[in-house]
Amino acid sequence: MWHKKRVYSLIISGVAVLLFSNIVSANHVTYSVEYSTSSAKGPTLENAEIPAQIFRGGTPAGFFKIKPNSKDEFTVPNDYGKNIAIAAFSIKGQDKLHLTCSGNAYPGNHKIVIECTPK
């Protein structure tokens, strides 16, 4: 009799783990980073450190560093809901090129367009 209870509890536990893992993986959002077409040539984006701030409904919600992969994409845990925006402040290496770089991703847009201008 206890075997049936154990089997049922294992099945229920397995289903709960699967549902929880789907919820956890759904809470990550992928963003891409690219330069504006009118922008000056900036440092490479792959593995660059880009300090950024996340906003929720126009209110600052935290700082973090973006490190794009080889496809110029990065993933952010979406703990803040759908209405988030990201502001990128600079790119590591921009000073060597005498540039000022910044960009934004507005709510609903998963692309940060960075514009660099000469100092």
The CATH number of the domain holding residue 56 is 2.60.40
The gap from C-alpha 66 to its chain's centroid, in whole angstroms, comes to 7
Predicted pLDDT at 22: 46
User: Based on the structure, what is the number of domains in the chain?
Assistant: 1
Is 99 within a domain? yes
Is 52 within a domain? yes
Predicted pLDDT at 96: 85
Predicted pLDDT at 40: 77
Predicted pLDDT at 66: 87
Mean pLDDT in order along the chain per 10 residues (119 residues): 59 56 62 84 83 88 88 83 86 86 89 90
| Calpha distance 70→68 (Å, rounded) | 7
Predicted pLDDT at 111: 92
Q: What is the 3-state secondary structure (H, E, C) of 60-118?
A: EEEEEEECCCCCCEEEEECCCCCCEEEEECCCCCCCCCCEEEEEEECCCCCEEEEEEEE
Predicted pLDDT at 9: 64
- Determine the structural domain holding residue 86 and report its residue range: 28-118
Predicted pLDDT at 102: 92
Q: Is the pTM of this model over 0.95?
A: no
Is 19 within a domain? no
